[in-house]
Structure 1
């Protein structure tokens, strides 16, 4: 079993933040296109099994709009795996450096396609408190916590 507790892309925390991240990504994608095309654009969202990390399933979510733009996002760290957009000639190309599987993201940590988590900076010593309630995070950047 691979220990990803201190892995920079580990976000197997409560599902609510992950669901919120996926919802945000889907909404940003869905609302960007109508502004460009002048009207509502129906699209689709599909998912497929994409491997496991520490025995937990990972899925690849594909968001597609009516004009052909496609975004592939995982529920493992909300990693943007692919983003296919039209070039000047209208040909769709992938503009993201992505990996072919969840295992490749665990094995190689260059932060390809990463999204900042609940915070986009370092939290000293991986500890903070809100309203007097202490919270302890994984220390994934030396003694600090990086990017939520």
Structure 2
């Protein structure tokens, strides 16, 4: 059977796509987020606009609203840069600090924690597979 590249247009697909909208913090939420984290967490990017674009992109992905590659580059910047920065923030505990501060809604906090757990599991799986591959080569 040959693969049909045309997208399916059924009710389930339409419902799933309707839920995949990027998040954009309003001015009040952004100010609360900045106060909760402080400036050291946000100094990596070139400007506050870049910081805000990154945070909106990361929240959109971690809360399950869209995928990194779905984010429009003109609105959120390069998805690879955002993905890498998000991994650094996770490793440094920046998102954990944001969750503990209460700067984000509780529903988002749970999804972000689940996202972080999945990323840790995936990282451990990759590391284990690499170790197995190296042992087989010896």
Normalising by structure 2, we get a TM-score of: 0.27
Where relative contact order (Cα < 8 A, 6+ residues apart) is larger, the structure is 2
Higher CA-based Rg: 2
Higher strand share: 1
Greater helix fraction, Structure 1 or Structure 2: 2
